[in-house]
Amino acid sequence: MNRIAIAQVDPCVGAMEDNTALLVKYIAEARDVAGADTVIFPELAVTGYPPEDLLLRPHFHVQVQRALQRVTDAARGIDVILGYPQPLGAKLYNACGLLRDGEIITAYHKRNLPNYGVFDEKRYFTEGTELNLLTTPHGKVALSVCEDLWTEHHAREAAQAGAELLININASPYHTDKAAVREELLRRRARDCGLAIIYVNLIGGQDELVFDGGSLVVDARGEFVLKAPQFEQGLYLVELERAAGRLKLTAKSPRARGADFNGSVYRALTLGVKDYVSKNGFKGAVIGLSGGIDSALTLAVAVDALGAENVAVLLMPSRYTADMSVEDAQDMAGRLGVACHIVSIEQPFTAFAAILAPIFENLPADTTEENIQARCRGLLLMAVSNKTGKLVLTTGNKSELAVGYATLYGDMAGGFAPLKDVPKTLVYALSRWRNRNGEVIPQRIIDRPPTAELRFDQKDADSLPDYEILDPILEQYIELDRTPDEIIAAGYDQDTVHQVAAQVDKNEYKRRQAAPGVRITERAFGRDRRYPITSRYRER
């Protein structure tokens, strides 16, 4: 173990043949091109992460064993360390194995199984109980898997057993500021335990989750030796040697530059869209472009993720659509070079109104007519999706979904929601960030007050608090689990806070039917936040 290659790879859950080919490719590149004698892959690299209830299917493990055998056969002339599920009798372990010269030499079983947030590992795996130390020419090396590093016990025990290096393989999903959290953890763990640490992370989109890579190497003093880039596949090299009786690590790949906040969020969104579309076999994406900020940012993300040639947009004006909305939408579509079709919904909207007139006789117009417009648009988008094989990307943001400012089977119709976990204020910040090197999103879209344009002179502010007020309240209520009284004590208006909390509570039925979307916060709707639909609980 002199030159180590860190392999940041993007496997697909359950695609055992493709994953095997990916691993074998990187094994050959690490050995034959990079000159490494060890290559390290992430957690559950053979199956992709998280495989969820596929782990309960017996034939899944038959395929895993076939794939693992092919990877083992490729492990000649180089040591391979990687993750895979390992059945032993009636138990299943989350394993980290060492493969060498066509054999599995040893395997470590993950000892700390996360069961919070997006993680549900205790449903599937049994906790390991033993350390696993490798003896190398440079001293003892301990194996570990992801959560083992987050509790001090494993690293401390490894150091007490004589280990000088801890190898930690991960499937650690992205959220904002996660890179900084990881770096601080590695610094602290290395200094406290006197261990150098090699931290290898997965990349790629898997349903709601995005894995951002950002693999790290830190020496026993807590100084970073290597920082691999986020959101990029690749091999990153580090060399080991003994100097003055100590283990010395030297990077042989350049240190990646850290991304700014908006840049990392934007890259997470594009990777999430790219992998969801490609891994599920869609031919591209179709978007309803309204001339508003949400659909504009969604289009920019889709083009950056998939290429303009794989994205189509529909402009679907109604009697309430302002001329500037059509102009700005056409302008943006032209700037990005995407196929653009204008299809008025006036005819189907009028037809629905006529059909329903006898039932609605003497009843005033209300949100019913607004929702019919949204559902006309959803029908048209789904028709184009069916005909072309392109996936409909919905355009709603987290703020709207939180308070139910969305139409079931209308603007919520679609297969994936890139902005599902993006608050409205962040939508604006990301749009300005995307325009930093040239105006892609017309400035007028960013400047104009947000509106759904489902009635004359409509503004979001007619029904909602200003987003600069709404978003901080939502963050405290949803992501930080603060009570209304605590939020009010922080300086927010009492009536506004109770109104927002009530809207969040009563709209779970809508969120449960929403498309999956990219997770960028620590409390996204879906896997992170599991509330009952039928509930009379209120925070008053």
* C-alpha–C-alpha distance, residues 257 and 228, integer Å: 9
How many CB atoms are closer than 10 A to CB 351?
Answer: 11
Answer yes or no: are the C-beta atoms of 461 and 470 closer than 8 Å: no
Going by C-alpha positions, the residue among 268, 264, 266, 291 that lies closest to residue 441 is 291
- Known catalytic residue: 110? yes
Helices (H) and strands (E) in the chain, counts: 16, 19
* C-alpha–C-alpha distance, residues 14 and 46, integer Å: 9
Q: What share of the chain is helix, strand, coil (3-state, %, to 5)?
A: 40, 20, 40
Classify residue 417 by its DSSP letter. B
Listed as own residue / partner, the contacts of 473-478 with beta carbons closer than 8 Å and 24 or more positions apart are 473/497, 473/500, 474/398, 474/399, 474/402, 474/403, 474/423, 474/500, 474/504, 475/423, 477/501, 477/504, 478/402, 478/504, 478/523, 478/529
Answer yes or no: are the C-beta atoms of 400 and 406 closer than 8 Å: yes
498: phi then psi, degrees, rounded to nearest 5: -65, -35
The HSE-up count of residue 150 (CA atoms within 13 Å, CB side) is: 13
Q: Which of 96, 110, 193, 370 is catalytic?
A: 110
The label of the residue with tokens 């019913």 reads: 368
DSSP strands (E only) in 267-388: 285-288, 311-315, 339-342
The label of the residue with tokens 């997965």 reads: 202
Handedness of CA 104, 189, 178, 228 (dihedral sign): negative
- Known catalytic residue: 506? no
DSSP strands (E only) in 65-146: 79-88, 91-100, 103-109, 133-136, 139-145
* C-alpha–C-alpha distance, residues 216 and 200, integer Å: 7
> Exposed (0-12), middle (13-18) or buried (19+): which is 88, by Cβ within 10 Å?
exposed
Instruction: With H, G, I as helix, E, B as strand and everything else as coil, classify residue 92.
Output: strand
267: phi then psi, degrees, rounded to nearest 5: -70, -35
Answer yes or no: are the C-beta atoms of 240 and 4 closer than 8 Å: yes
* C-alpha–C-alpha distance, residues 516 and 519, integer Å: 9
Q: Which of 146, 279, 370, 390 is catalytic?
A: 146
Q: Where are the alpha helices (DSSP H) in 29-174?
A: 58-74, 152-160
- Known catalytic residue: 43? yes
DSSP strands (E only) in 252-390: 285-288, 311-315, 339-342
Q: Which of 43, 208, 400, 475 is catalytic?
A: 43
* C-alpha–C-alpha distance, residues 296 and 303, integer Å: 11
**Which residues are catalytic, by number?**
43, 110, 146
